[in-house]
Amino acid sequence: MRKMGHKVVIGVFFILAVTTICSSFASDFPERAIEMVIPYAPGGSPDIANRPWKEKISKVLGQPLVVLFKPGAGGAAGTTFVARAKPDGYTLLAGSSTPLVLVPLTTKGIAYTQDDFIPICNFAVTVLVWVVKEDSPYKTMQDFIQAARTKKMKYATYGTHGLSHICMEMLGKVAGFQSILIPYAGGNPALAAVLGGHADIGVTPGSLGMAGPGKLRIIAVGWEKRLELYPDVPTLAELGYPIDGSTYFGVFAPKGTSNNIINKIYGAYKKVLEENRKEFEEYYKSFENALFFLGPEDTGKLYKKEYNLRKKMIEESGILIK
C-alpha cells in the first residue's frame, strides 16, 4: 500500500510539473513570429478583411504577424495546411465562412471540418448585392423578378457553387423564376459583364466601386440590415425573400491549441478593436463590408449556424453538387 501511495504521489507531482511547464510556455507566448495563413491570393476579400489588424496585432503581441498566401482548391489548400499544423499558436488561419462552411458542403474529398479548428474571433462581414446597369429597365428587384418570370435572365457570379450562385438559385425558387448562370473568375469580371450588357444582373460581394451614375445600380442587399453606404437599397428580407448572402471573416487556430494561447491572441484582437473601433468601422465601410466582432464562443456558434443554413439552402435550391 505504501509503494502504491508513493506512485500516486509521484504521479500527482508529474501532472503538476507538466501543467506548470505548459502554463509557462503559454505565458511566454509568443516568442517568435506568428504565421497567418490566408487561403486565397492577395487582393481578395480575405486579404482586405485582415489588412487593418496585421501591424496593430503584431505590436500588442510583441512579435511579427507574417501573412502567408496559400491559394488553391477554393480555399481548401491553405485551410488544410493550418488544420495539419502544430497547435502551438504559431500557425493561424485567416478563415472565412467560405472555406469553413461552403467548401466542405460543395466539394468532395475535403480533408478537414470545422471541428479541426478552434475559433479565436470573428471581425468582419461582407454581404452580397444584386446589381444591374444604371440604365437598366429594372429599377427595383421587384421589376427584375416580374420580368424574370416571363423570360430567362442571365446572371453573373464570381463562380459556380459559390454563395452568389446558391443565393440566386434560392431567390429563383422562392420568387418563382428560372435564370441562366454565367460564372466568372471573380467579382470584378462579373460586374464588368453586367456593365457590358453580357448579363442582366450580377450577384457579388459589393459593387467594388462600380456603382454610380452611368455605371451600376444596386437593387437589393442580402443581409439582415441595409448597408450604411446604400441606405436606400432594401434587403431581400424586406422584399419578402429572407435570403442571407453574408460571408464572415475571422481567425482560427488548429485543434489542440491551449486555451491560454487562444485567450492571449483573442485578448490582443479585443484590445486592438477597443483602441481602433472607429477607424475599423470606416475602413470596412469603404470596402462595402462591416465590422462584426465576436469572441471565441460566439464565433463558433456563428459558423455552426452558417453551416446548417448553407446546407439547407443548397438542398432547397436544387443545385447539383458533383
The more confident residue out of 319 and 191 is 191
> 163-216 pLDDT, tens per residue?
999 999 999 999 999 999 999 988 889 999 999 999 999 999 988 778 888 899
Amino acid, res. 205 = P
Instruction: Identify the CATH assignment for 32-125+247-316 out of 1.10.230.10, 3.90.1150.10, 1.20.120.1200, 3.40.190.150.
Output: 3.40.190.150
What whole-number distance in Å separates Cα of residue 144 and Cα of residue 32?
55
Q: Give yes or no for residue 154 having a pLDDT over 60.
A: yes
What whole-number distance in Å separates Cα of residue 90 and Cα of residue 32?
8
> For the domain bounded by 129-221, which CATH number is listed?
3.40.190.10
Predicted pLDDT at 322: 60
> 51-94 pLDDT, tens per residue?
999 999 999 999 999 999 999 988 999 999 999 999 999 999 99
Q: Give yes or no for residue 10 having a pLDDT over 60.
A: no
What whole-number distance in Å separates Cα of residue 168 and Cα of residue 227?
19
Q: What percent of the chain has pLDDT over 70?
A: 91
Predicted pLDDT at 44: 84
Using a cut of 0.85, tell me whether the model's pTM lies above it.
yes
User: What are the domain boundaries of the chain?
Assistant: 32-125+247-316, 129-221
- Segments of the chain assigned E as strands: 34-38, 65-69, 91-96, 117-127, 129-133, 153-157, 179-183, 201-204, 216-221, 246-254, 289-294
What whole-number distance in Å separates Cα of residue 296 and Cα of residue 89?
15
What whole-number distance in Å separates Cα of residue 319 and Cα of residue 164?
12
For residue 312, the number of C-alpha atoms closer than 13 Å in the C-beta half-sphere is 8
Q: Do domains 32-125+247-316 and 129-221 have the same CATH topology?
A: yes
